[in-house]
Amino acid sequence: MATSKSDSKRAAWTAGASVFSGRPDPVWEVKPSIGAQLERIWRGLPPAEIEQPPEPALGYRGCFLKGPRGHHWFAFGSVVTFRSTRRPESRPEIRRDPAKKFERTLLASAPAGLLPPWLGA
C-alpha cells in the first residue's frame, strides 16, 4: 500500500525524553512544522567545544529529536549535540543553548500528560 507524502512527513520526526529508569521512556511524534522550527533554532545556536554535562543519576536526563536523513539531536543542560546516525563514526557537533530554547520547544511538543510534572526539576 502506498504511503502518502504527508504520512511519510508525519513519521519523519520523533522525539523522546530520557526520564524513566524501569519503564520505557516516553516517545512522541513531532509535527513537521515543529521539526523545522527546531532545526532553525539549532542553526542559530553558537558552537561550543565542551562536553555534555554529567547526567544526573535518577530523573530527567535530557531529550532527543530524530529527524529525517538520520539526523539526531540530544539536548540537556544548555547544550545541544547533533549526530548523524548515517555517519556514526563522525564527531558530534556541540552547540550551546543557554536559554534552553531547543530543549524547551522540544519538550513542549509532547502530548499533555505524557511527561511527569517533575521533569526538569
Partner 1 sequence: MPLRITINIFSGRPDPALELSGREAKDALERLRPARPLSKSEVLIPLESRLGYRGLLVEQLGAPVRGLPKSFHILDGRLLGQRLSHRANDEGFEEYIASRAGRLKVGKDFSDYLRREMTRARRDLLGLLHWKHPHHPHKHHCRCAPLYEPLWWNDGWAGQKQQNNNCYNYSTNYRTDTYAQPGRAAGAQNAYPPTCANVRPAAVADSLIDTPSANNKCPQEGHLVALVISPGWDYHWYRKGRAGYWTHKMGNSPATDVDNSGHLIPDPRTADRGSYNIFCTFMVVMHGHIKIR
Interface with partner 1 (CB under 8 A):
18-25, 46-51, 53-59, 61, 74, 77-79, 83, 85, 88, 96, 98, 116, 118, 121
Query: Among residues 46 and 111, whose Cβ is nearest to partner 1?
Result: 46
Query: Among residues 8 and 21, whose Cβ is nearest to partner 1?
Result: 21
Beta bridge partners of 72: 66, 83
Residue in the block written with cell 522550527: 37
User: Smallest gap, in angstroms, from Cβ of residue 4 to partner 1?
Assistant: 31
Q: Longest Cα pair distance anywhere in the chain, in angstroms?
A: 47
> How many other CB atoms sit within 10 Å of the CB of residue 38?
24
User: Smallest gap, in angstroms, from Cβ of residue 1 to partner 1?
Assistant: 30
Residues in the chain, total:
121
Query: Among residues 52 and 105, whose Cβ is nearest to partner 1?
Result: 52
Phi, psi of 76 (to 5 degrees): -170, 140
